[in-house]
Amino acid sequence: MKIEGASVAELRDERVVATTEAGEAPRLDEKAVLAAYSRWAPVYDWVFGRVFEAGRRLAVEIINRRQGRLLEVGVGTGITLPRYEKHLRVTGIDLSPDMLAVARRRVEAQKLDTVEALLEMDATRLAFEEASFDTVAVMYAITVVPHPDAVMAEVERVTRPGGEAIFVSHFASESGWRRAIEQALTPLTKKLGWRPDFPIERILGRPGFELVERRRLGL
């Protein structure tokens, strides 16, 4: 499986970095998303680990150059947690208790001292004070949440001035046959818990963010 239109974009307000992969899409149902990730939790790393490796690897490289507190939104099974450098203090949140159970087992088995907390939490209502984190990472999650604009607002709220937020996901192709296929597949992929036709403009077009850089990761 190829992820089309991969890129890295740096947005600035509270200096937000977005790591992205190739755009309005039908809203996902929260219960459907939870059900999907309950099914995927036992095999998620095996099925999707390699598929999403390039984006995660680049995001972790950026994050490891940062200092201080890191919030990973949609931490899932915690597949990235062992890669964070020791100087970071990591909090992960996810709406899926099944995915978090896998992440907690990983932290315990690998004795990951960098991880301060793994919390079941709705990303549209983050239980943190404003400007709580130096870095916020949202990897392959912004396109699977039912209310992405609310998540974006919360990410901006909890990122400190001068901090960074990193987004990694598949975004819709702008035109052509790939765009047509993404739209045709949307009813099916919604059942799997994600949508391939999510527009990148919903990330880059927010009035509070200034685009600083965008780098392509793949075709």
Which residues face 138 on adjacent strands? 73, 167
62 within a domain of the structure (yes/no): yes
Residue type, 80: T
Amino acid at 49: G
The reply to whether the predicted model has a pTM over 0.85 is no
- Quick check: is 96 in a domain? yes
Residue 11 falls inside a structural domain: yes
Residue 97, in any domain of the structure: yes
- Domain of 10 in residue numbering reads as 6-216
**Confidence class for position 113, pLDDT limits 50, 70, 90:** very high
Say if 1 falls within a structural domain. Answer: no
Would 206 be classed as within a structural domain? Answer: yes
Does residue 119 sit within a domain?
Answer: yes
Total domains present in the chain? 1
Alpha-carbon distances of 22 from 39, 62, 119, 167, 169, rounded to whole Å: 26, 19, 29, 12, 8
What is the pLDDT confidence band of residue 13, given thresholds at 50, 70 and 90? very low
Q: Which of 217, 209, 204, 196 lies closest to 59, judged by CA?
A: 217
Average pLDDT score over the chain:
74
* CATH code of the domain covering residue 126: 3.40.50.150
Quick check: 173 pLDDT over 60?
no
